[in-house]
A and B are shown apart, each in its own frame.
Chain A
Amino acid sequence: MTASAVITAEEAVAHIRSGDTVMVGGFGLVGAPLTLIDALVDHSDATDLTIVSNNIGEPGRGLGKLLRQGRIRRGISSYFTSNPEAVAAVNAGEIEATLVPQGTFAEAIRAAGAGIAGFYTAVGAGTQLAEGKEERLIGGVLHVLEDPIRADVALVYAARADPLGNLWYRRTARNFNPVMATAATITIAEAGEVVPVGAFEPESVVTPHLYVDFLVERA
């Protein structure tokens, strides 16, 4: 897409339907699209969601709010532990958990956005997290085949965006946002600040606008 519409958070989350897989950026709450998450919590009835996010928020914060509403069917994450309520929900059988090593998680999302059908990595090979996956010796080292992780909708946060949808991230709030922006059918970016087209040096654009479908300003 060449131009990203600036819409409200409420309009944005209308793109999320029940049963969808939704990617959500952030490392903990840092770099998480909190305005979009709040809109999903307050203005959407979509349920039975698969959430792809490094963490399922914190208790009652970020995605932790959505968890309390019982709208998450499955979580794909590297670290559920930062929200003890998510761990409890998994243990109670209320949500399904898929635990993925953090680098494999990031790379699987990158692969989905880059048209890569899967990749072999030594990370996780020979451990519980490789169970049910193809393992193969490559160069004498055991590797595990990892599938790409894609989503119907990605919710990302960038400190600055221009109206085309070019994104710039600040410090460690970048984390999973740039790869998630590439790996979903619809990418919605929440921007801390919308700057005019041409305000970015082209070299400083981290996510080129073709990945971004809709822009929302942070509340």
Chain B
Amino acid sequence: MSGDLKSRIAERAARELHPGEIVNLGIGIPNLIPGFLSSDSRVVLHTENGLLGVGPRPPEDEADPDLIDAAKQPITALPGASYFDSAASFAMIRGGHIDVAVLGALEVSARGDIANWAVPGKDVLGVGGAMDLVVGARRVIVTMTATSSRGEPKVVPECSYPLTATGAVDVIVTELSVFRLRGGELYLTELLDGVTLDDVAAVTTAPFTVSLEESHAR
């Protein structure tokens, strides 16, 4: 996947976040979102390994080995930050205290089921906090390309990969469009710049209702 594509998705997803929201960002595209948040966004970042108030990545020579995010990369803590243990961190998540989780997916179904932790036949044996986040966060935003690296659609009628959770997804942002799940049904609500309905339909096997209600422009 090209960096441009990832940035395009992250930039659009950043506009889904509202001032003051508590947000947990997954590994990959979601981690690019801070670069697209304005300095007055007041979005507060939570990382499940035990910090509320994640700041920017430090210069390499200032990295603190005791201060990492869930991707095990060095971070900083902003004024007003707090540290807590993993049980408390996931109590925040399950308890509905995290407003938004943004994470990647292998597939999302027409009902908002999400598969993002296991690939049969691949050496992946880890779920991390993915299941906790998609079940517990009040809003779940999936950032992913519209198709897999093999060109297969990722917004599908039914997930074929092992599920992370059922009916958990609220928003899907791809490089082509924005989908929203409402009442267990999938709506196409926005085409990104230069994208046609046919472009989206060509790579989306899930049934969806077209409900364009948002402008392309900011």
Contact = CB atoms under 8 A, between A and B. Distances in A.
Contact of B131 (A88, A106, A129, A174): A129
Interface residues of A, number: 51
A80 interface: yes
B91 A99 contact: no
Interface string B132-149: 100110000000000000
Give the dominant DSSP class at B's interface: loop
Contact of A123 (B47, B94, B125): B94
B127 interface: yes
Nearest to B71: A28
Contact of B162 (A81, A104, A127, A172): A127
Given A30-B65, A84-B123, A123 B86 contact: no
Contact of B86 (A121, A142, A170, A176): A176
A90 B66 CA distance: 30
A97 B125 contact: yes
B123 A101 contact: no
A210 interface: no
Nearest to A111: B87
Nearest to B133: A103
Given A27-B86, A103-B90, A126-B165, A159 B66 contact: yes
A28 B135 contact: no
Given A79-B127, A97-B125, A122 B66 contact: no
B72 A30 contact: yes
Interface in B72-97: 72, 77, 83-87, 89-91, 93-94
B51 A172 contact: yes
A153 B181 CA distance: 46
The CB with the most chain A CB atoms within 10 A, among B64, B93, B131, is that of B131
Contacts of A126: 163, 165-166
Interface in B109-139: 118, 123-132, 135-136
Contact of A81 (B65, B126, B166): B126
Specify which of A142, A170, A177 lies most central, judged by the most chain B CB atoms within 10 Å of its CB.
A170
B86 A101 contact: no
Contact of B123 (A81, A97, A142, A169): A81
B68 A88 contact: no
A172 B91 CA distance: 16
A110 B88 CA distance: 10
B85 A175 contact: yes
Interface in A157-211: 159, 169-179, 206
A107 B68 contact: no
Interface of B: 47-51, 64-70, 72, 77, 83-87, 89-91, 93-94, 118, 123-132, 135-136, 162-166
Given A78-B127, A107-B90, A174-B83, 11 more contacts: A27-B50, A27-B86, A28-B72, A30-B49, A78-B128, A104-B90, A126-B163, A169-B85, A171-B64, A175-B86, A176-B85
20 contacts: A27-B49, A27-B50, A28-B68, A86-B125, A87-B123, A99-B127, A100-B127, A102-B132, A103-B129, A106-B89, A107-B87, A109-B87, A121-B94, A126-B165, A127-B164, A128-B163, A171-B67, A174-B50, A175-B86, A176-B85
